[in-house]
Structure 1
């Protein structure tokens, strides 16, 4: 057994030095304990409800860079509310306070280190906090794995459970994953079906060939044929605009 003290009242805590949670029997404070010591742990509540989250996914799937018909043909197989653990480090760097977020377990959610926790929303996570149907994922990584890489002097370390909607969907016989930040509504997806660039490549090649033909014919036949160069550019622009309008029309019809 290793001796730790409660971060709230200073009373001794007798716990095993591993990833664990502990309730102080003197003041009732909940603490999270890992190899680096005793820290508070907090929760950021869901500010985006499930209906709003599904609308965010739908708008995201209709984006101009997404694969054609993704929003109508994708089948969402799981839509799970989770509380994901991150470590929040407050550090004094060059006379200024800086905050660093690091994941406390492996994840496919991209951009985790750039996450900003909404100010004023964190609350101490204890038995008075209802997580309802959200699945709490416990830490798999100790906090001290990050301590050496962080600049400055430590001010406060904390474990924070942040809300996410974890989405799994099938599209064209392939499984994809995404996540929605339950506090801000931000979408996170490192890989997703993107629209093919082939039609735009055809437009580019057509315009390029028309321009080259104008240059060569103008050089060897007649200078008036140089007019094919701007015509080629104009034709490429027109074809590109037509493709974009057709794509937007199909999206609106879907």
Structure 2
């Protein structure tokens, strides 16, 4: 049995070697423990509910980079809440306090390496804070992995559980995952059905060829070639714009 001091009330907390979390029996604060020592265990509340997450996902799915067929073609859409662990490091760098955030769990989503932790949203995990429903993911990266690369001197280090919406769905026989920040609404995604660029490329090539042929026709068939080429080309421009607009709506 080992002991550490509670960061909140100063009482001694007993824990077994290998434990990652311990709870103070006096103030009920949870403390995170790893090879670097003990630190506060914070948690952030969900500021975006299920309906808000659905609205954010639908807005992202209608964006210009996503396939227009995604929303009608989605199958087995699920929304799950999960608390993702990150390490928060407060450092004194040349007399200025700076905050650094790094994931405490392995992830392939690059956006989760730059989550924005706002001090005003942090809650110390004690008996006054209840977690019901969301999955709480366990850290699998030690805090010590980041310490050698951080600038300045340490002021505070803590484990923070970050609220996320895990949106999973199937489209065209393939599974996809979109993550929504449950605090700010930011969307993180590494793979998704993209909007095809082939129709726009074909329109561009076709318009170029058509404008070229009209220019040649105006130049060779009429005395004032430049003026007549413009007359031939001008009616074609609205038609090309209309075709591109219809293509954008369809694809």
Q: What TM-score results when the alignment is normalised by the length of structure 1?
A: 0.84
- Conserved 8 A contact 1:31-1:40: yes
Distance 1:193 1:19, change over 3 A: farther
The worse-fitting range, judged by mean Cα deviation, of 222-231 and 132-141 is 222-231
Is 1:106 the equivalent of 2:90? no
**2:94 equivalent in structure 1:** 94
Tell me, which stretches of 5 or more residues in structure 1 are unaligned? none
Deviations 1:82-132 (A, max 9, x none): 111111111122332211111111124431232212441110112332111
Is 1:133 the equivalent of 2:133? yes
Tell me, which stretches of 5 or more residues in structure 2 are unaligned? none
- Conserved 8 A contact 2:200-2:247: no
Is 1:156 the equivalent of 2:167? no
- Conserved 8 A contact 1:109-1:178: no
Q: Please give the secondary structure, in 2, of the residue aligned with 1:120.
A: helix
1:32-43 maps to which residues of 2 (within 5 A)?
A: 32-43=32-43
Q: Please give the secondary structure, in 2, of the residue aligned with 1:176.
A: strand
**2:240 equivalent in structure 1:** 239
Distance 1:52 1:76, change over 3 A: farther
Q: Please give the secondary structure, in 2, of the residue aligned with 1:111.
A: helix
**1:191 equivalent in structure 2:** 191
Give the drift of 1:234.
7.5
Give the drift of 1:72.
1.4
Distance 1:154 1:241, change over 3 A: farther
Q: Please give the secondary structure, in 1, of the residue aligned with 2:149.
A: coil
- Conserved 8 A contact 1:165-1:180: yes
**2:24 equivalent in structure 1:** 24
Distance 1:223 1:150 in 2: 74
Distance 1:229 1:188, change over 3 A: farther
**1:6 equivalent in structure 2:** 6
Q: What TM-score results when the alignment is normalised by the length of structure 2?
A: 0.85
Q: Please give the secondary structure, in 1, of the residue aligned with 2:120.
A: coil
**2:61 equivalent in structure 1:** 61
**Cα RMSD over matched residues?**
2.9
Q: Please give the secondary structure, in 2, of the residue aligned with 1:84.
A: strand
**1:47 equivalent in structure 2:** 47
